[in-house]
A and B are shown apart, each in its own frame.
Chain A
Amino acid sequence: MTLLHRLASILRWIVHRDDAEQDLHDEVQAFVEMTAADKMRDGASAAEAQRNAVLDLGGVEQTIERVRAGRHGAWLDDVGRDVRYALRTCARNPGFSAVVVITLALGIGANTAIFSLVDTMMLRSLPVRQPEQLVELLFRYPRDPRLNMYPWNHYERFRDQNHVFSDLVAMSARSGRFQVTGPTYGPEVVDGMYVSGNFFEALGLQPAIGRLISPEESQIGSPRATVAVITWSYWQSRFNLDPTVLGKRLVVDNLPITIIGVTRPEFFGLQLGMDPPLWMPLAVEPLLQKPSRLLDGSALVTVVGRLKTGVTREQAAAEMRVLDRQRLADLEARSHDVQWRSVKMEVEPAGAGLSILRDRFASALLLMMAAVGVLMLLACVNVASMLLARSAARRREMAMRVALGAGRLRIIRQVLTESLLLSTLGGGCGVLLAYFCAHALVKIIGSGRSPVGMPQPLQIPVHLDLRVLLFAAGAAVATGVLFGVVPAWHAFVSAPSSSLREIGGAGETRSGRRFAQALVIAQVALSVILLSAAAVFVRHLTAVRTVGLGFQTNSILQVSLDWSRGGYKPAQIGPLSREVLDRLTSIAGVRSATLAGMTPISGAAGSRFISVNGFTENSDDRRRVALNTVAPRYFETLGTPFIAGRDFAPEDEGRARVAIVNAAMARYYFGTNSPLGHQFTIEGQTRPLEIIGVVGDAKYFDLHETPPRTIYMNAFQGSGPWIFVLRTDVPPMSVVPHVRSIVYDTLPNVPIAKITTLVEQVDASILPERLIAMLSGLFGALAAMLVAIGLYGLLAYTVTRRVKEIGLRIAIGATGRDVIGMVLTSALGLVSVGLIIGVPMALWMKGYAVNVLATLAATQVEAPIILPVNLVVPVVIAVIAMVGLALVASYVPARRAMKVDPIAALRTE
Chain B
Amino acid sequence: MEKLDIPQGTLDLMILTILARETMHGYGISQRLAVLSHDQFHVNPGSLFPSLYRLEQDGKLKAEWRPTENNRRAKYYRLTASGRRQLERHRERWNRVSFAVSSVLEGA
Binding site for B on A (CB under 8 A): 1-2, 4-6, 9-10, 23-24, 26-28, 30-31, 33-35, 37, 56-59, 62-63, 66-67, 69-72
Return chain B residues, CB-CB under 8 Å to A70.
50-51, 53-54
Return chain A residues, CB-CB under 8 Å to B96.
none
Contact A30 B25 (CB under 8 A): yes
State whether the Cβ of B70 lies closer than 8 Å to any Cβ in chain A: yes
Return chain B residues, CB-CB under 8 Å to A59.
46
Q: Give the contacting residue for B46; candidates A4, A6, A62; CB below 8 A.
A: A62
Given contacts A27-B75, A30-B74, A34-B27, contact A6 B50 (CB under 8 A): no
State whether the Cβ of B12 lies closer than 8 Å to any Cβ in chain A: no
State whether the Cβ of B49 lies closer than 8 Å to any Cβ in chain A: yes
Smallest CB separation, A38 vs chain B (Å): 8
Q: How far is the CA of A527 from the CA of B93 in the complex (A)?
A: 67
Given contacts A30-B73, A30-B75, A31-B26, contact A63 B58 (CB under 8 A): no
Q: How far is the CA of A72 from the CA of B55 in the complex (A)?
A: 10
Return chain A residues, CB-CB under 8 Å to B45.
31, 35, 56-58, 63
Return chain A residues, CB-CB under 8 Å to B44.
58
Q: Give the contacting residue for B54; candidates A28, A34, A56, A72; CB below 8 A.
A: A72
Return chain B residues, CB-CB under 8 Å to A4.
59
Contact B49 A27 (CB under 8 A): yes
State whether the Cβ of B82 lies closer than 8 Å to any Cβ in chain A: yes
1/0 per residue B30-47: CB within 8 Å of A?
A: 100000000000001111
Q: Give the contacting residue for B72; candidates A5, A24, A34; CB below 8 A.
A: A34
Given contacts A28-B49, A58-B46, A63-B45, contact A71 B73 (CB under 8 A): no
Contact A5 B27 (CB under 8 A): no
Contact-size category for B: 20 to 34
Given contacts A1-B82, A58-B46, A63-B49, contact A71 B57 (CB under 8 A): yes
Main secondary structure of the interface of A (DSSP, over half): helix
Given contacts A23-B75, A27-B26, A30-B27, contact A66 B46 (CB under 8 A): yes
4 A-B pairs with the lowest CB-CB distances in the bound complex, closest first: A5-B59, A70-B50, A58-B46, A34-B27
Return chain B residues, CB-CB under 8 Å to A10.
57
Return chain A residues, CB-CB under 8 Å to B75.
23, 26-27, 30
Q: How far is the CA of A5 from the CA of B81 in the complex (A)?
A: 13
Given contacts A5-B58, A72-B57, contact A66 B47 (CB under 8 A): yes
Interface residues of B in 50-93 (CB under 8 A from A): 50-51, 53-54, 56-59, 68, 70, 72-75, 82
Q: How far is the CA of A58 from the CA of B48 in the complex (A)?
A: 12
Smallest CB separation, B89 vs chain A (Å): 12
Q: How far is the CA of A15 from the CA of B25 in the complex (A)?
A: 25
8 more A-B contacts (CB under 8 A) besides A1-B59, A5-B59, A6-B57? A1-B82, A2-B82, A30-B74, A34-B72, A63-B49, A70-B50, A71-B53, A71-B54
Contact B50 A67 (CB under 8 A): yes
Residue pairs across A and B with Cβ atoms less than 8 A apart, 10 shown, are A2-B59, A5-B57, A5-B58, A6-B57, A27-B74, A67-B49, A67-B50, A70-B50, A71-B53, A71-B57
Contact B57 A34 (CB under 8 A): no
Return chain B residues, CB-CB under 8 Å to A67.
49-50, 53
Contact A9 B57 (CB under 8 A): yes
Contact B58 A6 (CB under 8 A): yes
**Smallest Cβ-Cβ distance to B70: which chain A residue:** A37
Contact B50 A66 (CB under 8 A): yes
Binding site for A on B (CB under 8 A): 25-27, 30, 44-47, 49-51, 53-54, 56-59, 68, 70, 72-75, 82
User: Among A1, A2, A34, A69, which residue has the most Cβ atoms of chain B within 10 A?
Assistant: A34
Q: Give the contacting residue for A33; candidates B30, B53, B72; CB below 8 A.
A: B72
Q: How far is the CA of A58 from the CA of B72 in the complex (A)?
A: 22
Return chain A residues, CB-CB under 8 Å to B82.
1-2
Q: How far is the CA of A71 from the CA of B49 in the complex (A)?
A: 10
Smallest CB separation, A53 vs chain B (Å): 9
Return chain B residues, CB-CB under 8 Å to A2.
58-59, 82
Smallest CB separation, B104 vs chain A (Å): 33
Return chain B residues, CB-CB under 8 Å to A26.
73, 75
**Smallest Cβ-Cβ distance to A33: which chain B residue:** B72
Return chain A residues, CB-CB under 8 Å to B74.
27, 30, 34
Contact B58 A71 (CB under 8 A): no
Q: How far is the CA of A72 from the CA of B56 in the complex (A)?
A: 11
**Smallest Cβ-Cβ distance to A59: which chain B residue:** B46
Return chain A residues, CB-CB under 8 Å to B56.
9
Q: How far is the CA of A9 from the CA of B55 in the complex (A)?
A: 11
Return chain A residues, CB-CB under 8 Å to B57.
5-6, 9-10, 71-72
Smallest CB separation, B42 vs chain A (Å): 11
Q: How far is the CA of A37 from the CA of B69 in the complex (A)?
A: 13
Smallest CB separation, A31 vs chain B (Å): 5
Q: How far is the CA of A727 from the CA of B4 in the complex (A)?
A: 105
Q: How far is the CA of A9 from the CA of B54 in the complex (A)?
A: 10
Given contacts A2-B59, A30-B72, contact A35 B54 (CB under 8 A): no
Return chain B residues, CB-CB under 8 Å to A23.
75
Smallest CB separation, B29 vs chain A (Å): 10
Return chain A residues, CB-CB under 8 Å to B51.
70
Q: How far is the CA of A42 from the CA of B15 in the complex (A)?
A: 26
Smallest CB separation, B77 vs chain A (Å): 10
Q: How far is the CA of A26 from the CA of B53 in the complex (A)?
A: 14
Smallest CB separation, A170 vs chain B (Å): 64
Contact A57 B46 (CB under 8 A): yes
Q: How far is the CA of A474 from the CA of B6 in the complex (A)?
A: 47
Contact B27 A31 (CB under 8 A): yes
Smallest CB separation, A16 vs chain B (Å): 14
Return chain A residues, CB-CB under 8 Å to B50.
66-67, 69-71
Return chain B residues, CB-CB under 8 Å to A66.
46-47, 49-50
Return chain A residues, CB-CB under 8 Å to B58.
2, 5-6, 72
Q: How far is the CA of A56 from the CA of B48 in the complex (A)?
A: 12
Return chain B residues, CB-CB under 8 Å to A28.
49
Smallest CB separation, A25 vs chain B (Å): 11
Return chain A residues, CB-CB under 8 Å to B26.
27, 30-31
**Smallest Cβ-Cβ distance to A34: which chain B residue:** B27
Q: How far is the CA of A9 from the CA of B63 in the complex (A)?
A: 13
Smallest CB separation, B37 vs chain A (Å): 16
Return chain B residues, CB-CB under 8 Å to A69.
50
Q: How far is the CA of A35 from the CA of B27 in the complex (A)?
A: 7
Return chain A residues, CB-CB under 8 Å to B70.
37
Smallest CB separation, B1 vs chain A (Å): 19
Q: How far is the CA of A909 from the CA of B46 in the complex (A)?
A: 49
**Smallest Cβ-Cβ distance to B73: which chain A residue:** A30
User: Among A9, A24, A69, which residue has the most Cβ atoms of chain B within 10 A?
Assistant: A9
Smallest CB separation, A607 vs chain B (Å): 82
Q: How far is the CA of A762 from the CA of B38 in the complex (A)?
A: 99
**Smallest Cβ-Cβ distance to A69: which chain B residue:** B50
Q: How far is the CA of A5 from the CA of B55 in the complex (A)?
A: 10
Smallest CB separation, A244 vs chain B (Å): 53
Return chain B residues, CB-CB under 8 Å to A58.
44-46
Smallest CB separation, A499 vs chain B (Å): 34
**Smallest Cβ-Cβ distance to A71: which chain B residue:** B53
**Smallest Cβ-Cβ distance to A37: which chain B residue:** B70
Q: How far is the CA of A2 from the CA of B74 in the complex (A)?
A: 26
Q: How far is the CA of A185 from the CA of B77 in the complex (A)?
A: 73
Smallest CB separation, A68 vs chain B (Å): 9
Return chain A residues, CB-CB under 8 Å to B27.
30-31, 34-35
Return chain B residues, CB-CB under 8 Å to A6.
57-59
**Smallest Cβ-Cβ distance to B49: which chain A residue:** A67
Return chain B residues, CB-CB under 8 Å to A35.
27, 45
User: Among B49, B58, B82, which residue has the most Cβ atoms of chain A within 10 A?
Assistant: B49
Return chain B residues, CB-CB under 8 Å to A24.
49, 53
Smallest CB separation, B107 vs chain A (Å): 38
Smallest CB separation, A664 vs chain B (Å): 87
Smallest CB separation, A576 vs chain B (Å): 90
Smallest CB separation, A12 vs chain B (Å): 9
Smallest CB separation, B85 vs chain A (Å): 10
**Smallest Cβ-Cβ distance to A60: which chain B residue:** B46
Return chain B residues, CB-CB under 8 Å to A31.
25-27, 30, 45, 49
